[in-house]
A and B are shown apart, each in its own frame.
Chain A
């Protein structure tokens, strides 16, 4: 396919969609990215620990301690977030 064909096809597609809706969706997704990355990063250790014990492994004291540490960090984050003031509150 020639470049001009691609451009024509792109223009035809663009004419069929509501660009404002597309932009709103993209904008929202970009805004959510930091949260998605946070979830990926914080959830992985729990998933890995679960995979180990579900495969028959026995949790060690060190793994319990690491689990406590992760949960305490998450709790501190939630506690701090709960103390924030919503600037948009009416």
Chain B
């Protein structure tokens, strides 16, 4: 059990570092497929935390999760699912562009990456504000 907890804490620390990277990456021009891949993987880590949260039991009526009481609240799960749906739209647009930029002459790397990063930041804020980590 202790080993699992240590591993989880190690992963969580790495997750926080990568989330910061995903939320604060400096724009480059042109932004490469590698950059998109890094940021999308960073989002995957944030999404993993949210998915793990959904595996917790429901909080008892009138109670909230705490440092010693691990449980989920359905209202938070719904917020996470909504934010994830928004992030997916931005993610698909970004990926479509980095694979075939010529197909989207009216769009830019920076605009699409910015939209995805905004979605990731929103998702991460929901996790941070609700103790999902």
Contact = CB atoms under 8 A, between A and B. Distances in A.
Nearest to A61: B99
Contacts of A32: 56, 70
A82 B77 contact: yes
B109 interface: no
Interface string A23-53: 0110011111111111110111111011001
Given A38-B55, A40-B7, A58-B34, A71 B69 contact: no
A86 interface: yes
B55 A25 contact: no
Contact of B48 (A24, A28, A29, A74): A74
**Shortest 4 CB-CB distances between A and B: which pairs?**
A82-B81, A32-B70, A81-B54, A39-B52
Interface of B: 1, 4-5, 7-8, 11-12, 14-15, 18, 33-34, 37-38, 40-45, 47-62, 68-71, 73-74, 77-78, 80-82, 84-85, 88, 91, 95, 99
